[in-house]
Amino acid sequence: MSIAIARLDADTAAPEDVAALDRILTGARASIVRAGEHLDGAAERLSEAASDSERIVLVARLAPDGTIIGLADGVLGAGGLTIAAIAVDLAHRRRRVAHALLDAAAAAGSAKAGERVSVTAGVHSDNAAALAFFAAHGFVPSGTQGGVTELVRA
């Protein structure tokens, strides 16, 4: 399986891109959203990225047809890059797509900042799969608040 990772902007996103992202986010919703929480849809994420130069939305496209199979969303701030979401289409999980998205997001954050940046993420403390994923990438817990484990990688 060959994938390409690229930035997706609101002005270049086709309607089918937004629909694909919403389908992926819907599939991921059960593992990343708890009762009373809201998960931004694709249109909201792209709109925020259009109005915030620090927001990075990356997509993984399946070669050769360009089907979107995953996304990474992050915000670059003074403290580094904060990952808001990484989600992969259910049919393409366990194929290192999330790994490629995380690496590309960290590289994009560093390129935008002009230096290597720290990367942080917040994961629900009961989401063992996400905690293991981030641990495999060198993230360590830096605290827990309200059932969310904050993770950091320098």
Model pLDDT, residue 152: 86
**Residues 56-108: tens digit of each pLDDT:** 889 999 989 999 999 998 888 777 888 888 889 988 988 999 999 999 988 88
Q: Between residues 68 and 55, which one has the greater pLDDT?
A: 68
pLDDT digits (tens, 9 = 90+) for 113-149: 777 778 888 888 888 888 999 999 999 999 998 888 8
Residues β-bridged to residue 78: none
In a domain, 136, yes or no: no
Number of structural domains found in the chain: 1
User: Which of 7-16, 51-60, 87-96 tops mean pLDDT?
Assistant: 87-96
- Where residue 50 falls among pLDDT bands split at 50, 70, 90? low
Domain assignment present for 133: no
149 part of a folded domain: no
Residue 143 lies in a domain: no
Higher confidence at residue 43 or residue 57?
Answer: 57
Domain-located, residue 152: no
Is residue 130 domain-resident?
no
> Which structural domain, as residue segments, surrounds residue 106?
3-117
**pLDDT at residue 32 greater than cutoff 90:** no
For residue 95, give the CATH number of its domain.
Answer: 3.40.630.30
Say what the pLDDT of residue 82 is. 85
| In a domain? residue 61 | yes
Quickly state the pLDDT bin for 28 (edges 50, 70, 90): low
Q: Would 123 be classed as within a structural domain?
A: no
Please give the pLDDT value at position 38: 47
Residue position matching structure tokens 């959203």: 33
pTM: 0.81
